[in-house]
Every structure is written in C-alpha cells, then in structure tokens.
C-alpha cells in the first residue's frame, strides 16, 4: 500500500512540476508577493499631504503649524489664504487634510480661553481618515498639555500611562506580515489541490486511475502529499523572509509553528480536495477554489478584526481554517504564546480537515462522469 | 465590416453563449459571485471597532475608582470585565480574550489629591497595531471626559487651550461601509473580469478546438471580438447588480452621474477582460492561466489598490507597482463618483489610464493570437 501511495505521490509531483510554467507559477509569485505586500500592507500613514490655512498671525498659531510641518508623517503640499481655496484642494485629492487656524487663535489662547482650530479631512477613504484623525488629536493634545505647563496650569489630578505589549512601537507591519504567511500558504495549497482531480477528469485520466487497484483513501493521500510538502517548503521560505528581511520578531517555539502548520495544511488541503472532487472541469475547480479563498481571506481577521463583524458573521468565520492559523502565527511570532494556549485553535482545523477529506474520498467514487 | 465577417462574428458569439449556458460556472462567476462577495464583504469588513473587551483591575475599590470605572462601563466603545488581580488580567491579554488592561493601583485615591496626580496604568495588546491605536484613543477620550466631569463637579474648569473642530468631508460619519462598498465593487469586478476570460482561450488550446477554429475562414480579430463581447455583457450585468446592491442594500449614496459610472465601468471591464484574455492566450494551459489570474487579480486588487491600505504611505517602489494595476484607477474613480460626485480632475485621469490599459491588453492579445500551430 505504501508503495502504491509513493508511486501516486511521485506522479502527482511530476504532473505539477514537469511543466516549466506551472513550476514557475507555484513557486515564484508567492515569494514576490510576500516582498511587495510586506511593504504595501501597513496601516501606518507616511507623507500625509496636507494644506495649511493659517489666519492667525500670532506666535501660538505659528507654533501649532510648525508642529505639523516638522512631523515626519506629514508633508505640507499647499498654503492657502482664503476659504474658497479649501474645497478644490480636498476635492482633487491634492491634500488629504486642511489645517485651519482661526484668526483669533493666539489672542484667545493668551486670554486663557480655548483657541479655535479646524481640521478638514477627506473621508472618501474612511480608514485613512480615522487613522489621520487619531494622529491629529494626539498632536493637538500634546500641544495643549505643553501650553498648559508653560502657562503654569495644573496637569490635572490623574494621568495616563499607556504601554503597548508585544509591539511597543505599534508597527502594523509586525501584525500584517505574519498574516501574509498564512495567506500565501493557503492560496498555493488550495490551488494546487483544487485543480488536481478536475484536471484528470477533464483529460480523462481519472477514469484510468479508478480502474487501478487504488482505494479512494489511497488516491486521496497521494493527491494530498504534494500539497503538504509544497506547503511546508513554501512556509519555511516565507517565514525566513519575514524574520530575516522584514525583521519581524519570532518569539515563540518554531516547533509549535510547524505543528500549527501541519493542522492548517490538513484543513486547507482537505477543502481543496473536496472542491476538486466536486468539479468536473478545471473552470469549476477554479471557481470553487475562488469561492473558498476570497471569503476565507476577507473573513479571517487578516486586515480587519473579526470582532468588528456582526455576530452572525462571526459565527460563520468558525469554519474558516485561516482564522485559527492566523491566531497561531501571530501568537508565536509576536507574543511567544506557549503551546497549551493554542490547543483551542488546533482541533477546529483538524475537524475541518477530517470532515472534508472524508467527504472527498466518498465523492471520488460516486462522482464519475 | 463586410457581411461575411458580420455573419462569422455572429456565429462565434452564439457559440460562446451556448458554451456559457452549457457550463453554468461562467454565469455563476458573473452573477452569483458579486452577490455573495458583496454580502460577505459589505457586512464582514469593518474597521469600526466597538465593544472592545478590556480587563479592569482595581486594587482598592472606593468612590474615586468607581467614578472612573463607571465611565468605562457607560462607553459603547468598551465592554469591560472586572478582574481581581493583575496576573490574571495579563494572562487574558496573552490569550487575546481582552485587548487592554486598565490598572488602578492601591493608592489611587490618595494620590489623586497630590500635586503630581495619580497614574492610571493602561496596557494594550499591540499585536494588532491598528486596533491598539484605536483603543488608546478611546481610553484617552474616556479619561478626558472623566477629568472634565470631575473638574465641573468641584466647581473648577478644566482649561483645554485648544478647541479642535474636526470635519470629515464626503463621509461625515466616517461610515467605513460608504467607502468600502465602492472599493469592493471595483475589486469584485477585477476578479470577475479576469476569471471570466482567463480560461476561455486556454481551454480551446487544451481541448484541441483551437485547431478546428484555425482551419475556418474566421480571422483572429473576429475570434477576439467573439470572445470579448459575450463576457463584456455578462460583466456589465454583474456590475449593474453590484451597483444596485450597493445603492439599495447598503445605502451608499451615488452623488455622481449614472452615465459616468457606466462609461468608466465599461472601460475598466475592457481592461480586465483584456488582461484575462492575454493571460489565456499567453499560457495556453488552464492550470497556469487560472493560477496566474488569481495571483495577479485577487491579492493585488485587495492589498495594492488603495482599498484598505493607503497608497501614499507605501514605499516608492511599491507605489510604482500599484500604477500598473487597473484596479487602482477603478477604485479611485468609483470612490469619487459615488461619494464626491463628477469631480473631473479625478475621474478623467483615471478613466484615461483605464482606457490605456484596455488598449494595451487587447492590442497585446491581438498580437499574440496568430493563426499558427506551435
């Protein structure tokens, strides 16, 4: 039996790798994508283009504006001198933000009254706008407290001491790059397995496979093995790039990471084989892979937290293997989470994998046309 | 166009439609995919963080600490749980059951009276940096509210020297759905456009029917048009469906004109279908074509189009890469047409870029498609 599985696995590998182009598309793009996306995927804003509209002539207004022009993430692109100039600058996306200091700003501040400052933000990209507003309120709060201290006011009865664990500088790249590791592994293994049976069906070789002494379980294992090996190899390469190139800290046990990867591959390959066993043509296999991949990525907590979704959709994510694997990858990379805290993420993936593989091996036999 | 050519073209289009009807997966791609994806994404992708789970550790509860913790309990941004000791709270933070810890030490009330003030210790799980930043902002808001309430109760005024007035244009409530839905439509159309045509030519080569086509009098230009036309109509149908869902289901405003939307979408569809065809013609293999189509459409459209991650903040090299993605221009054009109206200074350059892509992809397809066996 082992010899038969070995022979089938070898044949699968050859089918996958003998063609130069198909070898290329499963190996090179994931690595390139990791590099490009690793740089692209960040929620931190840099070089925010903003325009200054300063009606105030006093020193306080100038100081406030200087805070923004000197900040590393802001880049002044225009100086406005009238209300009418504000709309065109924002409409055309020349500036993401307009900082408008009112005419009485310095005088009000000197008199001990609040000085008016207006910030206009382009809300077309609401996420960027929300992050930007966060930056602005931090900067104005800093300005306020410094001004208070200089003018001899009291800092208030209580102060906040905020610390961020695991990622003290709040670099969103540290969060997103481990996520890309899971994303690309899922993409490659699902594609490879989802089209494997469909291709044989379309070319008519699957019927030949069925009349051989292979049992459905053996066909299943033979089809799954290349996905496992490919997944392990690619994951290793991607983790190396993430730690050595992007300098994301890897604080936990590597062995734990690979245990997690094994269960993740079992679930994603299970889904891929299930899709493959249902598909008659490669187009159907591709569509099936797509219908699985796209929601899996979007609803995994990769870019937007699962906790923000409506409750019924949060329940839906429970059948998504990537959801569990992302918790494992991020936990091991950033938090150094020990194995016993991750067991809760492992068994759902095992369950998903087992159910799908069982269904796939059942369908291999029944669906013959 | 001569009468014979018109007749040949009609035959090709009819054949393509028959094939679409026979294997309904194309129809599923055009009509089912946008509905499912828009539903999932429209509800599933949200950056509006609320009810953040936080652990509150009060070492010595009394009136002062109750006043502060009541502020957290009353805020819709937090769903606090009280934890007895800090060790337990730290384990919850490690296991991601809470996102932050608010810790009031035993001498909190006593130090409130002292001139340097009492510390409120806040520990945030920084793993998800974006959420962490939002949570910090929320904590600051609660803290400031509490301070000004306390100041008002004791008769004093907390002098905030700076009065910040924030205005968000085009999307005043910062409803992330308003900006996400136009972006999603762009991404979904990128996927659909690429997927619809990525396999069609490769399939003909793989099944050997391409050779049958080669011996007929049809020209390769006619084959190309015959392949584009049916899928263009299918794609437009999917687009109309997506827009209708965006307007009526998600309540996204359409400030620009419907005609402009139609024109820009048509340009984009030609570019996307052209790209799929080019992949198909260049690879002549369904597995390779399918993989290339998914790799070049889905993740780039999701991550590099400015839909979630701000393009201006990316490194210059990556910004240059985003310029060769049709999705980037379509996202920008759609967001403006939906939320800001017919702003020509944004729409025209983006539409021009889309037209250029359509010409390049279709032209390259025509170049590569030769009446030759090799």
Q: Are the Cβ atoms of B290 and A330 closer than 8 angstroms? A: no
The alpha-carbon gap from B60 to the nearest alpha carbon of chain A, in Å, equals 16
Tokens of B138: 């929320």
Mean pLDDT for B67-76 is 86
Residue B52 has what pLDDT?
Answer: 87
pLDDT tens profile A269-315: 999 999 988 888 887 888 888 888 888 988 888 888 888 888 888 88
Residue of B nearest to A195 (CA): B287
The alpha-carbon gap from A204 to the nearest alpha carbon of chain B, in Å, equals 12
pLDDT tens profile A23-67: 887 888 888 888 888 888 777 888 889 999 998 888 888 888 998
Pick the closest to residue B182 from B29, B350, B25 (CA basis): B350
Q: Which of residues 26-85 of A touch B (CB under 8 A)?
A: 26, 29, 33, 36-37, 39-49, 64
Q: Are the Cβ atoms of B124 and A165 closer than 8 angstroms? A: yes
Q: Is the pLDDT of residue A111 over 80?
A: no
The CATH number, out of the four listed (3.40.1710.10, 3.40.109.10, 3.40.50.300, 3.40.1640.10), of the domain defined by the range B52-149: 3.40.1710.10
| Nearest CB partner across the interface for B127, out of A112, A282, A335 | A335
DSSP string, A134-171: HHHHHHHHHHHHHHHHHTT----SEEEEEEEES-TT--
Question: What are the chain B neighbours of A171 within 8 Å (beta carbons)?
Answer: 129
Tokens of A297: 């990525």
| A153 contacts chain B (CB < 8 A) | yes
Report residue A157's pLDDT band, with 50, 70 and 90 as the boundaries: low
At B80, is the secondary structure helix, strand, or coil?
strand
| Nearest CB partner across the interface for B47, out of A36, A127, A166 | A127
pLDDT tens profile A219-254: 888 888 988 998 999 889 989 999 999 889 998 889
Q: Which of residues 227-266 of A touch B (CB under 8 A)?
A: none
Q: Is the pLDDT of residue B158 over 60?
A: no
Pick the closest to residue B80 from B150, B129, B147, B135 (CA basis): B135
| Nearest CB partner across the interface for B174, out of A44, A129, A199 | A129
CB A336 within 8 A of CB B127: no
Q: Which range, A180-189, A276-285, B260-269, B318-327, is most confident?
A: B260-269
The ipTM (two decimal places) reads 0.75
B interface test, pick of A304, A313, A343 with most B CB neighbours within 10 Å: A304
Strand (E) positions, B111-161?
118-125
Q: Are the Cβ atoms of A165 and B306 closer than 8 angstroms? A: no
Per the listing, tokens 């209580």 go with A158
Crossing angle of helices B33-44 and B220-244, in 10° steps, is 40
In chain A the domains, ranked by start, together with CATH numbers, are 2-41+171-366 (no CATH), 48-150 (3.40.1710.10)
At A100, is the secondary structure helix, strand, or coil?
strand
Mean pLDDT for B345-373 is 88
Q: Which of residues 168-207 of A touch B (CB under 8 A)?
A: 168, 170-172, 174-175, 183, 187, 191, 195, 199, 202
Q: Are the Cβ atoms of B127 and A170 closer than 8 angstroms? A: no
User: What b/e string do you get for B313-334 counting C-beta neighbours within 10 Å, with b at 16 or more?
Assistant: bbeeebbebbeebbbbbbbbbb
Mean pLDDT of chain A: 85
pLDDT tens profile A125-143: 777 787 888 888 888 878 8
How far CA B58 is from CA of A148, A165, B117, B121, in Å, comes to 30, 20, 17, 11
Question: What are the chain A neighbours of B171 within 8 Å (beta carbons)?
Answer: 123-124, 126, 129
Crossing angle of helices A216-240 and A343-366, in 10° steps, is 140
CB A78 within 8 A of CB A52: yes
Per the listing, tokens 């749980």 go with B81
Question: What are the chain A neighbours of B301 within 8 Å (beta carbons)?
Answer: none
Mean pLDDT of chain B: 83
Residue B291 has what pLDDT?
Answer: 80
CATH 3.40.1710.10 range(s) for chain B read: 52-149
pLDDT tens profile A336-366: 888 888 888 999 999 999 999 988 888 876 6
| Nearest CB partner across the interface for A299, out of B25, B44, B317 | B44
A interface test, pick of B25, B161, B173 with most A CB neighbours within 10 Å: B161
Residue A348 has what pLDDT?
Answer: 93
Q: Are the Cβ atoms of A159 and B117 closer than 8 angstroms? A: yes
Question: What are the chain B neighbours of A331 within 8 Å (beta carbons)?
Answer: 96, 127
Q: Is the pLDDT of residue A153 over 70?
A: no
| Nearest CB partner across the interface for A124, out of B50, B128, B339 | B339
Mean pLDDT for B252-277 is 92
Q: Are the Cβ atoms of A22 and B285 closer than 8 angstroms? A: yes
Crossing angle of helices B258-283 and B220-244, in 10° steps, is 130
């Amino acid at each position: 039996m082992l010899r038969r599985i070995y022979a089938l696995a070898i044949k699968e590998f050859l089918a996958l790798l003998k063609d130069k182009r198909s070898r290329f598309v499963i190996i090179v793009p994931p690595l390139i994508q990791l590099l490009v996306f690793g740089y692209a995927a960040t929620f931190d804003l840099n070089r925010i283009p903003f325009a200054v509209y300063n009606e105030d002539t006093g020193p306080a207004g100038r100081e406030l504006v200087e805070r923004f022009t000197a900040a590393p993430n802001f880049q002044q692109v225009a100086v406005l001198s009238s209300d009418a100039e504000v709309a065109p600058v924002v409409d055309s996306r020349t500036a993401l933000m307009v900082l408008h200091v009112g005419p009485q700003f310095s005088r009000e501040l000197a008199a001990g009254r609040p000085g008016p400052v207006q910030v206009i933000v382009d809300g077309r990209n609401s996420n960027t706008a929300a992050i930007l507003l966060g930056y602005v309120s931090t900067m104005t709060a800093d300005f306020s407290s410094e001004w208070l201290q200089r003018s001899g006011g009291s800092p208030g009865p209580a102060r906040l001491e905020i610390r961020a664990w695991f990622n003290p500088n709040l670099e969103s790249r540290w969060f997103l790059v481990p996520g890309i590791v899971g994303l690309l592994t899922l993409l490659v293994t699902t594609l490879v397995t989802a089209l494997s049976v469909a291709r044989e069906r379309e070319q008519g070789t699957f019927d030949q496979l069925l009349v051989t002494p292979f049992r459905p379980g053996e066909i299943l294992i033979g089809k799954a093995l290349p996905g496992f090996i490919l997944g392990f190899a690619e994951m290793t390469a991607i983790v190396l790039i993430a730690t050595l190139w992007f300098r994301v800290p890897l604080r936990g046990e590597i062995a734990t990471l690979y245990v997690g990867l094994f269960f993740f591959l079992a679930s994603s390959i299970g889904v891929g084989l299930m899709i493959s066993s249902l598909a008659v043509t490669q187009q159907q296999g591709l569509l099936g892979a797509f219908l699985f991949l796209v929601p899996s990525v979007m609803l995994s907590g990769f870019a937007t937290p699962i906790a923000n979704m409506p409750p019924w959709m949060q329940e839906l994510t429970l059948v998504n293997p990537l959801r569990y694997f992302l918790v494992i990858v991020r936990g091991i990379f950033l938090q150094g989470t020990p194995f016993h805290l991750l067991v809760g993420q492992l068994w759902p993936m095992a369950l998903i994998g087992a159910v799908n593989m069982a269904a796939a091996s059942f369908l291999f036999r029944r669906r013959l046309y | 166009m001569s009468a014979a050519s018109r007749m040949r073209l009609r035959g090709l289009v009819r054949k393509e439609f028959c094939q679409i009807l026979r294997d309904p997966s194309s129809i599923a791609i055009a009509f089912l995919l946008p509905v499912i994806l828009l539903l999932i994404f429209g509800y599933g992708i949200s950056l509006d963080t609320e009810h953040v789970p936080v652990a509150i550790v009060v070492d010595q509860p009394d009136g002062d600490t109750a006043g502060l913790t009541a502020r957290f309990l009353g805020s819709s941004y937090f769903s606090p749980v009280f934890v007895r000791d800090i060790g337990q709270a730290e384990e919850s933070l490690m296991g991601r059951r809470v996102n932050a810890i608010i810790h009031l030490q035993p001498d909190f009330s006593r130090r409130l009276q002292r001139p340097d003030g009492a510390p409120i210790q806040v520990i945030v799980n920084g793993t998800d940096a974006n959420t962490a930043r939002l949570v910090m902002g929320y904590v600051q808001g609660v803290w400031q509210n509490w301070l000004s309430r306390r100041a008002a109760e004791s008769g004093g005024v907390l002098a905030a020297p700076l009065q910040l007035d924030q205005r968000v244009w085009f999307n005043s409530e910062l409803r992330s759905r308003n900006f996400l839905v136009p972006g999603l439509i762009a991404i979904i159309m990128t996927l659909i456009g690429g997927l619809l045509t990525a396999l069609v030519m490769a399939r003909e080569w793989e099944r050997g029917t391409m050779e049958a086509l080669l011996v007929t009098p049809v020209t390769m230009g006619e084959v190309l048009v015959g392949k584009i036309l049916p899928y263009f109509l299918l794609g437009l149908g999917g687009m109309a469906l997506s827009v209708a869902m965006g307007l009526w289901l998600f309540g996204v405003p359409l400030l620009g004109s419907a005609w402009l939307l139609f024109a820009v979408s048509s340009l984009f569809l030609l570019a996307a279908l052209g790209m799929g065809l080019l992949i198909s013609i260049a690879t002549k293999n369904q597995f390779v074509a399918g993989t290339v189509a998914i790799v070049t459409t889905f993740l780039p459209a999701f991550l590099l189009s400015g839909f979630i991650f701000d393009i201006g903040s990316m490194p210059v090299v990556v910004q240059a890469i985003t310029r060769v993605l049709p999705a980037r221009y379509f996202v920008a054009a759609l967001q403006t047409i939906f939320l800001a109206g017919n702003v020509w200074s944004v729409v025209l350059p983006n539409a021009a870029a889309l037209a250029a892509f359509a010409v390049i992809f279709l032209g390259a397809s025509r170049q590569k498609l030769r009446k030759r066996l090799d």
